[in-house]
């Protein structure tokens, strides 16, 4: 079965988010930072993104939702609309510490969440509807 371009992008994006969730638990890929204890799953993912167990689990959950949207043509656009809202809320919440105290965030996380909001927002709200139903051979 051929997938639409929106489905393929959504599926790929979901895999990346789920992969980040898994990688966040792997010592060596997540480098302990001065403000974090040497606890698995806490530190800087790839030496850049602040993560902890809650943040890694959130990446796994968001990745799973995006993968589900990428696998079902009927849900791809709706999933991207919902995820755009989630990523936008995360972007705004990163500036309001009490809302996200359980999740380690830093400026690179905020930029990633904003980029994620823009991509999912484009796929959910702006992308030509032809991208949602038309399959792209060779992609």
* pLDDT of 137 over the 60 cut: no
pLDDT for the residue numbered 32 = 82
pLDDT for the residue numbered 97 = 67
pLDDT tier for residue 6 given thresholds of 50, 70 and 90: very high
| 7-52 confidence digits (pLDDT tens) | 999 999 999 999 999 999 998 898 887 655 566 678 899 999 989 8
Q: How far apart are the first and last CA of the chain?
A: 13
Biggest CA-to-CA distance, the chain: 49
Based on its alpha-carbon atoms, the radius of gyration of the chain, rounded to whole angstroms, reads: 16
* pLDDT of 99 over the 60 cut: no
pLDDT for the residue numbered 95 = 83
What mean pLDDT value characterizes the chain?
Answer: 86
pLDDT tier for residue 85 given thresholds of 50, 70 and 90: very high
DSSP 51-110: E-HHHHHHHHHHHHHHHHHHH-TTTHHHHHHHHHHHHHHHHHHTTSGGGGTTS---HHHH
Indicate the helix (H) or strand (E) that contains 45.
strand 43-45
What are the extents of the domains in the chain? 5-129
| Residue 1 to residue 67: CA distance in whole angstroms | 16
- Please tell me the pTM assigned to this model: 0.86
């Amino acid at each position: 079965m051929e997938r639409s371009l929106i489905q393929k992008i959504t599926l790929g994006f979901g895999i990346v988010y789920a992969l980040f969730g898994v990688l966040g638990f792997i010592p060596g890929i997540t480098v302990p930072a001065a403000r974090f204890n040497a606890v698995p799953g806490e530190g800087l993912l790839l030496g850049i993104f602040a993560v902890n167990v809650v943040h890694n689990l959130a990446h796994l959950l968001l990745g799973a939702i995006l993968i589900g949207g990428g696998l079902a043509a009927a849900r791809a656009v709706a999933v991207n609309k919902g995820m755009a809202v989630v990523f936008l809320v995360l972007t705004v919440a990163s500036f309001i510490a009490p809302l996200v105290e359980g999740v380690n965030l830093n400026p690179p996380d905020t930029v990633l969440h904003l980029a994620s909001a823009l991509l999912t927002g484009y796929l959910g709200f702006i992308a030509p509807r032809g991208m949602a139903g038309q399959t792209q051979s060779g992609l």
